[in-house]
Structure 1
Amino acid sequence: MSNKQESIGLLKETNAGIQMGVSTLEEMISDIRDERLRAVMHDSKAEHDELGDEAHRLLLEYGADTKEPHLAAKAMSWMKTNVKMAAEPGDKTAAGLVTDGCNMGVKTLNKYINQYKHADSAAVSLAKKVIRCEEKLCSDVKRYL
């Protein structure tokens, strides 16, 4: 696979992960009771939006289109979030779901960085920015668990 193809592959997977994060945060923000936790999630959503814009820009530079998250993954995430929040509403549940999502995002992006070894530095850098964003959000919500 060429450097360009690997870069596009990594960017598409990174973008799909960002979209999953944004979607989940959008679903949960209105259910958060604690103002500080709501602000943390709102700020993280804004950061994810900026990272998504960067992913789109880089994909356009390569002449590639964006990738939607897999429908099954999106449906499972939506179901898990909404069922858990309905069964156990509250900030503790939201923080747990966010932690699970962040950990999955970090794991998945590291897998794709390793898979697309020849991706260019801009694609790898963006994936690593998303990883840092996920790790920060996970750390920021720990006290609500």
Structure 2
Amino acid sequence: MQTNDSINLLKECDAGTKMAVSSIDEVMNEVKNPKFKNILVECRGKHIEIGNKLHEILLQHDQKDKEPNPIAKGMSWMKTNLKMTMNDNDTTVADLITDGCNMGVKSLNRYLNQYSKANETAANLCKELIHLEEKLAADIRSFL
């Protein structure tokens, strides 16, 4: 049986994967460097894969998935479009994605602490997402 903490953590992680995929989609067409683009494509795929796992577990427990906060999503969209209008280069994209990764790591760690009674499966998926975000930020540092 899933605890409320497990369900809540899974839902927050699910929303996070959707936010990450959406953010990558917003900038993908602006990336010029093929290596950078490949990093983003690979990371996007991993977010989708983890999101699918989360969705499957939630469905098994008759739970609905969670969409990203519309205000956070709107603010991200505005920031991305403003910065890209001013300077549409790979450095700007790397800066935006790095900021998103840092916010994701911060939020996911907060949820991991908040939902401390989550089961091992939920906690491990959250940690996997945290690692993915940290790795993406590290992988794109050379484009800053």
How many matched pairs? 144
Match of 2:21 in 1: 22
Match of 1:7 in 2: 6
**Alignment map for 1:96-107 (pairs within 5 Å):** 96-107=95-106
In 1: Cα distance, 2:23 partner to 2:68 partner = 12
CA deviation profile, 1:33-78 (whole Å, cap 9, x unmatched): 0000000001100111101001101111221100111110110011
**Alignment map for 1:1-145 (pairs within 5 Å):** 4-145=3-144
Compute the displacement of 1:3 (Å). 5.3
- Taking every aligned residue pair, what percent have the same amino acid on both sides? 43
Compute the displacement of 1:26 (Å). 0.7
In 1: Cα distance, 2:123 partner to 2:61 partner = 15
Q: Which amino acid aligns with 1:59?
A: L
CA deviation profile, 1:75-110 (whole Å, cap 9, x unmatched): 001111111111111000000001000000000000
In 2: Cα distance, 1:97 partner to 1:89 partner = 11
In 2: Cα distance, 1:30 partner to 1:102 partner = 19
1:4/1:62 contact within 8 Å kept:
no
- RMSD over aligned Cα, in angstroms? 1.1
State the TM-score, normalizing by the size of structure 1. 0.96
State the TM-score, normalizing by the size of structure 2. 0.97
Q: Which amino acid aligns with 2:133?
A: E
In 2: Cα distance, 1:63 partner to 1:3 partner = 11
Q: Which amino acid aligns with 2:7?
A: I
Q: Which amino acid aligns with 1:54?
A: K
